Structure 1
């Protein structure tokens, strides 16, 4: 039966999820299902009482409604109101015991007065038959049945002479209505408990799968966004290849013209300007070449051994304009070499220095960048630290994503740190970003000391 397969599916779950289901079942049954079942049962009992009182009032042969009947109805109504509006609602199955004892008291009083006749206890028996559904507990159902049998035995002993006790009790217990009510209670307790556990198991599994589906959809949305960024990245790579062809030809011509002008120049002031022009032309060529390298899995040239201080001097010279007014402290030991792609690593330094320059507030009394290099075992650790405005923790995780930037200026494509991270991977190195918002930011580069 498909409806009763919920527990079979729960048993196939890991142990921690089975425990989570048990907590879910206890919470749902105690605070939602059992109070609802009790409301329905009490409502039916109260309606049955009103119908009984109406019969007494309308029947010409009936003795009429007595004060006992009204008192019984008022107490029953009070129990229903208490269950509806007080903490009694959460104390399941206390209300079942209270209603049972209330009905048993008046029912067995009538049973004794009528010399052990069945009609006074019919309502009580019908209520007992529903106890299994109200409590969903075999234990509480059996307890109430045992208490009821005890009360029935005592009431029968009081209702008939001692010589008729055995026959009167046997007659009551073998009555088909009494037997059916006593048997229905435990059977319904077992069946409805099993039914509810399976039904809630299916609800639990459905909620669990909905949560998994929501997480999957969220992951797909993130993946879709990353794919869109990757497509932009690929488009930029294709564009860079085209730019290399379109820019390098006129750039080579301009470089040759500058070289020729330098060769025939005899003016020392003009010579410095021509050298500066040649340097910036080389920078343009390096930037375009680095974009092409960025689109390739690995650079197409071999790792070289270069002087780390010289690379930083070149990077500082290229960033001279942006670092104007900044105290740059270069703490690199003399003759420290590093195995690298010199042009690519210089581009990393340039990007990081430009980021530091943009992070330093113009109004700061002291604008400072500290550059350090420390050999550690087989690795070389390079630190670039500024005292700028810092980076929020949630932004640090995304800084190396293509096209992501905390600088919202239109000319900032958000590619600098992404390119830096790719270049570091080409060097079998790592890049780590640490920051204290409002205080400082430090980028730590880790490079192997020997080529791999």
Structure 2
């Protein structure tokens, strides 16, 4: 039966998940299901009592409603209210025992006074037939049935002469209503308990699978975001290849013109300017060549071992003009090497230094502009941090800084490609770039790179 297959499915789970289900079943049955079942049973019992009292009041053949009847009804109403609004609701099946003893007291008093007739205990028998549903426990059901048999035997002994006890108790126990109520109670306890366990097992499995589906959906959304970002990078790569090749043609022509001018020049002052032009053209050529190379999925040449301090010094020379008036503090140990593509890593340092000078802005006084560059080597990796005391970055912007074409700068010629390219270069080095900032205080970029093995 499909509806009763929940437990079978739970048994196929791991031991930990089965234990989770047992805790789930106990909490749901004790704090949700059993209190509701008790409410329904008590409500039906109370309505049956009111109908019985109404019958006594309207029937001329009956003696009418007595004080005992009203007291019995009042106590039953108090028990119902206590179960609804007090801690008694969470102490299942205590309410079942309380109601049973209350009904048994008055029912067996009427049973004794009527000379062991069945009519006074019919209501009690009907309540007992529902005990299995209310408690969902075979143990509690059997306990209540045994207590009732003891009370029945005691009341029968008090209601009839000793010589008639055997025949009276036999007549009562063999009555079809009594037998039906006694049999229904344990049977209903077993089947309703199994039904509830399977139903809650299906609910547990459904929640568990919903959680798994939610995790899968989250993973798919994250993967979709990463794929979208990769598509941006691919689009940037294709566009960059074409642009960079177009840049190289006029750059080569300009370099040839400067070389020719140097070859025929006899003016020492002009010679210095031409040397500077040659140096910067070489720098442009290296940058463009590196960008062309790193627009490919993987660089063609092998990684080299380079001194970090030398690479940073080279980057500082390239940025000498932009760093005027800025206090640059270096804390790089001597002879710290890293496995890298030197020109590419130098370009990363240049880009980060230019970003730092841009963050310092014009609002900072000349004496307060500061950039700290530190390198720490430990546990097989090198961490290089570049920190400025500029205007900082808002938390919502940090996550998007490495997206292509995203920039916090209001400058119209800023394409927002620098950090995206830097991140790509660091990834090609099997490294990681982390950006931290305190708005209005500072910004720190940390590069984590693997160190070469000796």
- Counterpart of 2:369 in structure 1 is 367
Aligned equivalents of 2:93, 2:422: Cα separation in 1: 68
Shift in Å at residue 411 of structure 1?
Answer: 5.8
Aligned equivalents of 2:113, 2:292: Cα separation in 1: 105
- Determine helix, strand or coil for the equivalent of 1:63: coil
8 Å Cα contact 2:375-2:385 kept in structure 1: no
Q: Deviations over 1:168-189 (max 9, x none)?
A: 1111111111111011111111
CA change 1:305–1:212 in 2 (3 A) is: closer
Aligned equivalents of 2:374, 2:160: Cα separation in 1: 106
CA change 1:33–1:74 in 2 (3 A) is: same
Aligned equivalents of 1:6, 1:57: Cα separation in 2: 50
The alignment's TM-score, normalised by the length of structure 1, stands at 0.88
Shift in Å at residue 405 of structure 1?
Answer: 6.6
- Counterpart of 1:388 in structure 2 is 389
Please identify, of 126-135 and 295-304, the stretch whose mean Cα deviation from structure 2 is larger.
295-304
- Counterpart of 1:326 in structure 2 is 326
Q: How many residues align?
A: 448
- Counterpart of 1:14 in structure 2 is 14
**What is the correspondence of 1:31-46 to structure 2 with a 5 Å cutoff?**
31-46=31-46
Structure 2's unaligned 5+ residue stretches are none
8 Å Cα contact 1:431-1:445 kept in structure 2: yes
CA change 1:309–1:177 in 2 (3 A) is: closer
8 Å Cα contact 1:369-1:384 kept in structure 2: no
Aligned equivalents of 1:245, 1:404: Cα separation in 2: 20
**What is the correspondence of 1:61-100 to structure 2 with a 5 Å cutoff?**
61-100=61-100
8 Å Cα contact 2:407-2:415 kept in structure 1: no
Structure 1's unaligned 5+ residue stretches are none
Shift in Å at residue 275 of structure 1?
Answer: 3.5
CA change 1:358–1:19 in 2 (3 A) is: farther
Aligned equivalents of 1:59, 1:407: Cα separation in 2: 90
Aligned equivalents of 2:337, 2:395: Cα separation in 1: 34
Shift in Å at residue 2 of structure 1?
Answer: 0.5
CA change 1:219–1:446 in 2 (3 A) is: closer
1:443 has 2:446 as partner: yes
8 Å Cα contact 2:251-2:281 kept in structure 1: yes
Q: Deviations over 1:339-387 (max 9, x none)?
A: 643321211221232344345575375433344567779x684633425
- Counterpart of 1:275 in structure 2 is 275
- Determine helix, strand or coil for the equivalent of 1:369: strand
8 Å Cα contact 2:25-2:200 kept in structure 1: yes
8 Å Cα contact 2:303-2:339 kept in structure 1: yes
CA change 1:280–1:42 in 2 (3 A) is: same
Aligned equivalents of 2:336, 2:32: Cα separation in 1: 73
What value does the CA root-mean-square deviation take over the aligned residues?
A: 3.1
CA change 1:34–1:306 in 2 (3 A) is: closer
